[in-house]
Amino acid sequence: MSKHRMGGQTLYLTQNPPKIISRASIVGKKEGEGPLAEYFDKIIEDDLWGEKSWEKAERRMLIETAELTLRKAKMEPRDINYLFGGDLLDQIVTATFAARSLGIPFYGLYGACSSMTQTMSLAAPLIDGGYADNVLCVTSSHFCSAERQFRYPLEMGVQRPPTAQWTVTGAGGVLLSSDGKGPCITHVTTGKVIDFGIKDTNYMGAAMAPAAADTIRAHFEDTGRGPNDYDLIVTGDLAKYGRKLTIDLLKKDGYDIEDRFIDCGCEIFYESQDVHAGASGCACSAVVLAGYLLRKMEDGEINRILMASTGALHSIITSQQGDSIPGIAHAVAIEKKG
């Protein structure tokens, strides 16, 4: 039995818990008009950002976010042992093309919108175990590139149901290091793929909520902690109805998290911005973490959070063939020490 495991799904990082020494976020125009605008490093002026396609614009956002994250820590790509990245596009092309530019040893990861904490979940034990000193974790999504891949062409005049979500245009990155100053990642709880049979691709919050609830519950059971041990419990992109479902599912298990539970999908946009249930996408939890949450930790307003990005692991083909939407959530506990 490994010394560093707690319960069935959690790692306890005790030897040299990785510190988040740098962070950066770039977002689109609409996100820049939302309530968190002041927390982002850069707001791009339009969806194309001077590039020939949305895919290229997304790629550039990811590359610039990575470079900015490094610059803030006064590091070069050669100082970084691993780059972990993910995005929503087929064959995770945004992350791989970004890795081509950056020239850092790379693992591309697909966890749909759970990518942010998925990358951190794998980077953190590498550092704690002494296998790496600096690992860069980046993820991105783009409303236009996601919309055309998963739904309709943008110019199609179609109505969206009230439970639909709006993919965040943006990229977020964090640099984990064995050395330096910043909040530590102390626990990693790996999620299981959970599927309660939701098939509606316009109701992703409901598809992912059982996974979020399962991972948070597993974290509490494994660590012996409870909601009161955290200042904030954060999920990725469950949006309005998914958030409510998660609260209710956890209540059934005896955990009341409602008073300290936020969902990134409910934070990025104002209701007046016509995004229906809320935001989604890899960038959703990435920019809220890298922009807003870590800044609040720096300012000392919050000291310990449990962050669980959530992902819907379906494809267009599986959905068209009538399969339900499997969900996943990976949690990391982030704590400000000293």
Query: What is the contact surface with another protein in residues (CB under 8 A)?
Result: 52-53, 148, 152-163, 196-198, 203, 206, 209-210, 241, 244-245, 248
Name the minimum Å distance from CB 337 to another protein. Answer: 39
Name the residue nearer to another protein (CB basis): 2 or 159: 159
Name the residue nearer to another protein (CB basis): 200 or 231: 200
Name the minimum Å distance from CB 65 to another protein. Answer: 23
Name the minimum Å distance from CB 29 to another protein. Answer: 14
Name the minimum Å distance from CB 163 to another protein. Answer: 5
Name the residue nearer to another protein (CB basis): 303 or 319: 319
Name the residue nearer to another protein (CB basis): 67 or 200: 200
Name the minimum Å distance from CB 88 to another protein. Answer: 17
Q: Which three-class secondary structure string do you get for the chain?
A: CCCCEECCCEEECCCCCCEEEEEEEEECCCHHHCCCHHHCCEECCCCCCCCCCHHHHHHHHHHHHHHHHHHHCCCCHHHCCEEEEECCCHHHHHHHHHHHHHCCCEEECCECECHHHHHHHHHHHHHHCCCCCEEEEEEEECHHHHHHHHCCCCCCCCCCCCCCEEECCEEEEEEEECCCCCCEEEEEECCCCECCCCCCCCCHHHHHHHHHHHHHHHHHHHHCCCHHHCCEEEECCCHHHHHHHHHHHHHHCCCCCHHHEEEHHHHCCCHHHCCCCEEECHHHHHHHHHHHHHHHHHCCCCCEEEEEEEEECCCHHHHHCCCCCCEEEEEEEEECCC
Name the residue nearer to another protein (CB basis): 76 or 271: 271
Name the minimum Å distance from CB 188 to another protein. Answer: 27
Name the residue nearer to another protein (CB basis): 66 or 277: 277
